[in-house]
Amino acid sequence: MVLEALEREGVEYIFGYPGGANLPLYQHLPEHPRLKHILVRHEQGAAHMADGYARASGRPGVVFATSGPGALNLVTGLCTAYMDSVPMIAITGQVVSTQVGRDAFQESDVIGATSSVTKHSYLVTRIDQLPRVIHEAFHIATTGRPGPVLIDICKDVQQAEAERRADGFQIPGYRLNGHADAGQAKQAAEALSGAERPVILAGHGVILSKGEPQLRELAEAAATPVGTTLLGIGAFPVKHPLSLHMTGFMGTGWCLKAVQNADVLMMVGMRVDDRVTAKLAEFAPKVTTFIHVDIDGSEMGKNVRPHIELVADAKAAMAAMLPHLGPVRHGRGSWLAQVDAWREEHPLRYKHSNGRLQPQDVLIDMYRRANSEAIVVADVGQNQIWAALWWNYDRPGLFINSGGAGTMGFALPAAIGAKFGRPDVPVWCVAGEGGFVMTAQELSVAVEHQLDVKIVLLNNFSLGMVRQFQDDFYGGVRSQVDLTHMPDFVKLSEAYGMPALRVEKFEDIGPSLDAAQRTKGPFLIDFRIDPEANVYPIVPLGKSLNEFWEMPSDG
44 catalytic, yes or no? no
Alpha-carbon torsion (279, 281, 286, 291), positive or negative: positive
Q: Which residues pair with 457 in a beta bridge?
A: 431, 526
Q: Distance (Å, rounded) from C-alpha 298 to C-alpha 227?
A: 23
* Contact window for other proteins (CB under 8 A) among 120-128, 341-349, 388-396, 495-503: 120-128
Q: Distance (Å, rounded) from C-alpha 73 to C-alpha 66?
A: 10
Interface with other proteins (CB under 8 A), residue total: 21
Per CB under 8 A, 176 contacts other proteins: no
Q: Which of 9, 43, 299, 442 is catalytic?
A: 43
Check if the beta carbon of residue 481 is closer than 8 Å to that of residue 470: yes
Tell me phi and psi for residue 39, to 5 degrees: -80, 115
136 catalytic, yes or no? no
Q: Which residues pair with 223 in a beta bridge?
A: none
43 catalytic, yes or no? yes
Per CB under 8 A, 300 contacts other proteins: yes
**Got the DSSP string for 208-232?**
HTT-HHHHHHHHHHTT--EEE-STT
Report the 3 state secondary structure along 423-439: CCCCEEEEEEHHHHCCC
- How many other C-beta atoms lie within 10 A of the C-beta of residue 323? 10
CB of 133 to other proteins, least distance (A): 12
Q: Distance (Å, rounded) from C-alpha 444 to C-alpha 435?
A: 17
* Contact window for other proteins (CB under 8 A) among 4-12, 295-303, 386-394, 423-431: 295-303
Q: Which of 155, 257, 351, 454 is catalytic?
A: 155
Q: Distance (Å, rounded) from C-alpha 200 to C-alpha 243?
A: 10
CB of 100 to other proteins, least distance (A): 10
- Restricted to residues 121-150, the positions that interact with other proteins (CB under 8 A) are 121, 123, 140
CB of 115 to other proteins, least distance (A): 5
Q: Distance (Å, rounded) from C-alpha 228 to C-alpha 544?
A: 18
* Contact window for other proteins (CB under 8 A) among 27-35, 202-210, 297-305, 452-460: 297-305
- The amino acid that residue 172 corresponds to is P
Per CB under 8 A, 120 contacts other proteins: yes
Q: Which of 7, 105, 169, 494 is catalytic?
A: 105
Check if the beta carbon of residue 150 is closer than 8 Å to that of residue 118: yes
Contact code string over 189-228 relative to other proteins, x by CB under 8 A = ----------------------------------------
* Contact window for other proteins (CB under 8 A) among 28-36, 171-179, 277-285, 451-459: 171-179
CB of 247 to other proteins, least distance (A): 23
Q: Name the site residues for other proteins (rule: CB under 8 A).
A: 111-112, 115-116, 119-121, 123, 140, 171-175, 296-298, 300-302, 305
List, by residue number, the catalytic residues. Answer: 43, 105-106, 155, 465
